[in-house]
Amino acid sequence: MKPFVLRPIAETDLSALTELVGSIADGLTSLPNDPDYLESKIHASLRAFYPRIAQPGGEHYLFVLEDLEKGDIIGTSGIQARVGGFEPFYTYEIRWEKQSYAPLRIDKDIGVLHLKRSHKGPSEICSLFLHPDYRSYGLGKLLSLGRFLFMKRFPTRFDQTVIAEMRGYINPEGASPFWEAVGKPFFDKDFYTADIISGLGDKGFIEALMPKHPIYIPLLPAAAQSVIGHVHKDTEAALHMLRKQGFAETTEVDIFDAGPLISARVGQIKIVRETRSSATAVGVPKDAQGRMALISNGKLDFRLVQCSTWFDAEERLLLSERALQALQLNPGDTVDYAFL
């Protein structure tokens, strides 16, 4: 077993989280590099794990990936129980209008961007980041897919639909062609400044400054048109992974960079459908070839590891003492597991 565990963020993680966020070259919208804001996000996450929560609200669950050997925080991932609420959730919805004129034999569909406001939206997976030094360890799946084992175990805390806003295309100069054409003329701010303001929770400027009328896509510069629904190069692997899990593109895109919004029914996500439970026992066969799996303790005080697995003659999942310790469990306790 690799010495890594996914767990809820703790109050004592502020310094490590601040250092991790500071290493992100282009910033992370949902986790801006602001110590006061990060501290507030930690406390919001602590409240999200309150045992009596029985339906999705504004809870933001923040998980961290810990290197158990070094004690370092090397990654984050999160779940927003429901988007919208006190502040609307904004997207551009692409609608198609048919334009036709028989005498000139013109018949075409024109894409139009409509600003959409959601006040009681679905759940959202967010805040995914893995330190570059650890991206060769195969930990991306643990960070991304591990959240779904938590959602499977506590379904009443989340909406039945979950979305992911995928990061949009950024050109080699570090600019968003879509933002330059659609946002900047109204905001007078560069893309990253506007994105960070939004990430810090100030959504009022969106309602006040965004264009009030639909935008005909063919009227935009070719560079802006070409990136609508396309992802940042660093996001391609994440998009591919989520597609394999059952996520599909919607008709909505991000209002800042036009990155695609993808969606799935939680119960239809592949790893959710395939997650099973098993009693455990201590043991690691010397010569057997195990199957790699995500394994969680199934508790609100969530712990999840990624390791090879075997079953004994009594159909108990065999785990090393090290894995059980990371999960904070004892032999005989039950775990949730999903093969990768």
264 by Cβ neighbours in 10 Å (0-12 / 13-18 / 19+) ranks as: buried
Q: How high is the pLDDT of residue 201?
A: 66
CA distance 249 to 87: 24
Contact (Cβ atoms closer than 8 angstroms) between residue 334 and residue 278: yes
Q: How high is the pLDDT of residue 46?
A: 98
Our count of domains for the chain comes to 2
Written as six digits, the tokens of 201 are: 């929770």
CA distance 187 to 138: 40
Residues with a known catalytic role: 232
Please indicate, yes or no, whether residues 175 and 211 belong to a single structural domain of this protein.
Answer: yes
Pairing of strands 317-319, 276-282: parallel
Residue 91 in any domain: the answer is: yes
Please indicate, yes or no, whether residues 333 and 306 belong to a single structural domain of this protein.
Answer: yes
Residue 67 in any domain: the answer is: no
Cα 71 to chain center, whole Å? 24
Please report where in the chains the tokens 């935009």 appear, as a residue: 220
Residue 28 in any domain: the answer is: no
CA distance 318 to 214: 58
Q: How high is the pLDDT of residue 82?
A: 95
Q: What is the pLDDT along the chain (340 residues), one digit of tens a residue?
A: 568 999 999 999 999 999 999 887 666 677 888 889 899 999 999 999 999 999 999 899 999 999 999 999 999 999 999 998 777 899 999 999 999 999 999 999 999 999 998 888 999 999 999 998 998 778 999 999 999 999 999 999 999 999 999 999 999 888 899 999 999 998 888 887 777 777 666 677 888 888 889 999 999 999 999 999 999 988 899 999 999 999 999 999 999 999 999 999 999 999 999 999 999 999 887 776 789 999 999 999 999 999 988 999 899 999 999 999 999 999 999 999 999 9
Q: How high is the pLDDT of residue 289?
A: 76
Among 237, 255, 273, the domain-final residue is 273
Please indicate, yes or no, whether residues 207 and 308 belong to a single structural domain of this protein.
Answer: no
Q: How high is the pLDDT of residue 32?
A: 81
Cα 115 to chain center, whole Å? 22
| 272 backbone dihedrals φ, ψ, rounded to 5° | -70, -45
Mind listing the pLDDT tens digit for each residue in 99-112?
999 999 999 999 99
Please indicate, yes or no, whether residues 234 and 91 belong to a single structural domain of this protein.
Answer: yes
Please indicate, yes or no, whether residues 205 and 99 belong to a single structural domain of this protein.
Answer: yes
Q: How far apart are the first and last CA of the chain?
A: 14
CA distance 93 to 116: 6
Task: Compute CA distances 232 → 52, 66, 161, whole Å.
Answer: 39, 26, 24
Residue 253 in any domain: the answer is: yes
Q: How high is the pLDDT of residue 78?
A: 97
Residue 74 in any domain: the answer is: no
> Using H for helix, E for strand and C for coil, what is the string for 33-67?
CCHHHHHHHHHHHHHHCCCCCCCCCCCEEEEEEEE
* Identity of residue 57: G
**What residues make up the domain containing 334?**
274-339
Written as six digits, the tokens of 166 are: 């995928």
Please give the angle made by the CA atoms of 151, 56 and 242, to the nearest 5 degrees. 40
Phi-psi region of 217 (alpha: psi -120 to 50; beta: other; left: phi over 0): alpha
Q: How many CB atoms lie within 10 A of CB 160?
A: 12
Mind listing the pLDDT tens digit for each residue in 183-221?
999 888 888 777 777 766 667 788 888 888 999 999 999
Please indicate, yes or no, whether residues 234 and 314 belong to a single structural domain of this protein.
Answer: no
| 98 backbone dihedrals φ, ψ, rounded to 5° | -85, 125
| 15 backbone dihedrals φ, ψ, rounded to 5° | -60, -45
Q: How high is the pLDDT of residue 191?
A: 81
Adjacent-strand bridge partners of 67 = 4, 72
Please indicate, yes or no, whether residues 112 and 180 belong to a single structural domain of this protein.
Answer: yes
Please indicate, yes or no, whether residues 203 and 230 belong to a single structural domain of this protein.
Answer: yes
